[in-house]
Amino acid sequence: MQTEILIAGFGGQGVLFAGQVLAYAAMDAGHEVTWFPSYGPEMRGGTANCTVIIADEEIGSPLVAHPQILMALNAPSLDRFEPQVKPGGLIVANASLLQREVQRSDVQTLSLRANHVAESLGDRRMANMVMLGALLARWHGLTLAQVKAALKAHLPARKQHLLEANYQALEAGAAQIEELKKN
């Protein structure tokens, strides 16, 4: 098994952090992992993306041309990377920042208003964790418990006070998907 995930958005949205959390969770679960960041010169507001490859055996290259999963946190990321997702793949889109829906019919789509959910939790910066929780509710490569454990184990000491907020955001994202399944 090998899963290739591309997470993309604006700098400052926690794109790289979401990828790191996934990578740590997979590594802690005993998988082979690569995490490959890419970002513009701007610290905030420029584009950022990262690829995470999770596998059961050695990974040949960290480069991904056609990921199975795209987590698009903004419209430019959806525009740029939607065509690259493998047929049969999954696109998780942040509808809070999109002006359109996913155009492809050969992929599964999860669309949720992650920014709105994060704001309802009291911290708009948690939209990345809302999106990650939604991904985990649909893709079963890792569990919510594994990602929570990775957050606890790898979040720097100066950020440990944000642990509970991250947990709530993950759970809220997963709950959004469970709610969609009911409807």
Total-model pTM: 0.93
Tokens representing 68 are 């199975």
Tens of pLDDT along the chain (183 residues) come to 899 999 999 988 999 999 999 999 999 999 999 999 987 665 566 779 999 999 999 999 999 999 999 999 999 999 999 999 999 999 999 999 998 899 999 999 999 999 999 999 999 999 999 999 999 999 999 999 999 999 999 998 998 999 999 999 999 999 998 777 676
Specify the pLDDT at position 99: 85
Bridge partners of 3? 54
Specify the pLDDT at position 43: 55
Please list, residue by residue across 78-109, b when 16 or more beta carbons sit within 10 angstroms of its beta carbon and e when fewer do: bebbbeebbeebbbbbbbbbbeeebeeeebeb
Specify the pLDDT at position 44: 60
Specify the pLDDT at position 137: 94
As its CATH architecture, domain 2-182 has: 3-Layer(aba) Sandwich (3.40)
